[in-house]
Amino acid sequence: MAFLDWTWSCSDWVLLLLFTGVALYFWGTSNYNHFSKQNVPFVKPLPFVGSMGPSLLRKQYFPQLVMSTYNKLKDHPYGGFFMFKQPVLVLRDLELIKAIAVKDFEYFTDHRSVLPTDAEPVWSRILFALKGQRWRDMRATLSPAFTSSKMKTMFVLLSECCQNFVHFLEQCYQQTQQNECKIEKEGDLLIVEMKDFYTRYTNDVIATAAFGIGVDSLKQPTNEFYMMGQDLTYLGGFRAIKWLAYMAVPKLIQKLRISLMPAHITKFFRSLVLDTIATREREGIVRPDMLQLLMQAKEGTLHEDNSAVNKKMKLEDDDIIAQAVLFFLAGFDTSSTLLCFASYQLAVHPDVQSRLQEEIDETLQEHGGRFTYEAVHSMKYLDMVVSETLRLHPPAPSVDRLCVQPYILKANPPMEIHPGEMLFIPIYALHHDPSYYPDPERFDPERFSDDNKHNINPMTYLPFGVGPRSCIGNRFALMETKLALVYLLSQFTLKVVSRTPVPIRIVQKGFNMSIDGGFWFGLEKRKS
């Protein structure tokens, strides 16, 4: 019997490598004619990485990439770029944005899949990830949890967290509190890394307002709830590689059933939620928090009108766990980042801070020295400061929409969009477009004064998204942010110190933006 000779020469290996390289190149660029064949302007992609090269090489953080793409498509109502191999249509024209996100929403009801369903049985059930009718039912089920009346009920829980953190700072100021947090004392100033500080505050807020757990992350800096939050929002090492792989080849990751979220975090939240529910049901405990509202939704008693949603939407334990975790994820890092950027702007603009403190003092006096729900929401200048911070530093640099029905984009030229194709609304770029906001890099709360805010086109200010899929928890996030600022500024003044990075250099850490060097400020005790 003759045997095949499997001995390969050097030239054979060269040919194999050459063939493999050519095959990979054609695979990695196979979709890059998507826009050119339709005569749509687009940002020219690189093999495999598409238009993501500057972000992957850390030459641009993602909001800068969004801005760069937006500017390259100037003078066009829309244009394309490539997220790795996937073509993405970027909308610039405000009427197109309104049509896609609001008027013709039924054609674009979904987001791109952010988590593989089979590998993430809990995380794939979060409201943001749901699609079609399942999303509609869940949104309708959860909406009553975010009404003004429910926010007013949870206001008391948030106030207790604010009182705790101000009391802690006062103890640090008097040097009676030893702490392991990033808080130091220099003369008459507390030197504070505000990201660490605010994250501990938002952790305690979410613990009590969502899960009904009393946590003090300033006095107990390594408590399990806080450490799990840090782990959950960490996006580095092998986890970052998995996320990049999912963005680049989502179908392959889904087929391999690779989990993007660590199993121990899922196990922790599952145990926490189910044990808390069991305890409440057994002992008849009722609390004004998010978990209680989800329990009511499961029982069909959240909607007082006994609507069809009560009867149609059947919540399972994993649904409750998923929404509680989403509430945690959104509130833990995103709100603390907003508070950091607001603090930065107040510290470097002392005139704005002084005016805000005057409003806080006057409001306190009018309401008998107490911060009530009505008092905080009556502060117009506070709202102006927070709104301008959200314009400069929106939580999400862009939002996506996924086409679910064939659609003709009514523009010049018109474009046919097919199911499965993705569109981007470039929030960061709209917020920084000088056509809509003169001198857009300047912090100016007056843009949102009663005299000026009517001049702002609603499609150019989208910090919480737009249309039916806008952020369901925006009221809670604003309340959480405003209340923290009010309590802090009633007792302290934010100061620029030697460790404060001026001017700031934005960097990306995890899912959110930060600044190079950290958010270090001085806190000076106000005279009573």
- Give CA–CA dist 41/72, Å, rounded: 9
Please give the sequence-ordered ranges of beta strands (E in DSSP) within 122-259, or none if there are none: 183-186, 189-193
Is cis: bond before 47, omega within 30 of 0?
A: no
User: Do residues 54 and 72 touch, judged by C-beta distance below 8 A?
Assistant: no
**What 3-state class would DSSP assign to 217?**
coil
Q: Is 58 helix (H, G, I), strand (E, B) or coil?
A: coil
How does 256-270 read in b/e, with b if 16+ C-beta sit within 10 Å? eeebbbeeebbebbb
Q: CA dist 60 to 54, 57, 238, Å?
A: 5, 8, 21
471 marked as binding residue: yes
Asked, as a colleague might, if the bond just before 503 is cis with ω within 30 of 0, I would say yes
Backbone angles phi, psi at 508, to 5 degrees: -105, 125
Backbone angles phi, psi at 422, to 5 degrees: -110, 145
Q: Mind giving me the DSSP string for 193-215?
A: EHHHHHHHHHHHHHHHHHS----
CB-facing half-sphere around the CA of 135: CA atoms within 13 A? 17
Give me the residue label for tokens 């990439």.
Answer: 65
Helix, coil or strand: residue 322? helix
Residue 515's DSSP bridge partners are 506
Backbone dihedral region for residue 10 (phi beyond 0: left; psi -120 to 50: alpha; all else: beta)? alpha
Per DSSP bridges, beta strands 506-509 and 399-402 are unpaired
Q: Which residues are annotated as a binding site?
A: 471
Q: Which residues are annotated as a binding site for heme?
A: 471
